[in-house]
Amino acid sequence: MSKPIPRFKNEDEEREFWSENDSSEYLNWENAERALFPNLKPSTKAISIRLPESLLDAIRQLANERDVPYQSLIKIYLQERIEEDFKARHLPSGG
């Protein structure tokens, strides 16, 4: 039998509770179903970054060739590189 999930006053209280408690004590994960949220957009935060003008010009040129905004291309490049580094660190080395 699972423990009852407490009522929370706000999201911060709930976040703290789940960071300190094992959800398997409160939920039967064997009965869980995968949920998809196709319209859910991740929250974003604006930042300021200084780039050499030549680098920014190159990014803008590549973005123009791909017909995408240059900020989107920067995000794509960052995501691809992070995924590459993550895989390199977490895959067994072959040798």
Nearest to 56 by CA among 70, 46, 72: 70
- Residues 47-51 have a mean pLDDT of 96
Question: Rounded to two decimals, what is the model's pTM?
Answer: 0.53
3-state SS class at 77: helix
What is the predicted pLDDT for the residue at 94? 58
53 with 61: CB under 8 angstroms?
Answer: no
Position 2 confidence tier, pLDDT thresholds 50, 70, 90: confident
What share of the chain in percent tops pLDDT 90?
Answer: 67
What is the predicted pLDDT for the residue at 53? 97
- Residues 37-47 have a mean pLDDT of 87
Q: What Rg do the C-alpha atoms of the chain give, in angstroms?
A: 21
**Distance separating alpha carbons of residues 65 and 56, to the nearest angstrom:** 14
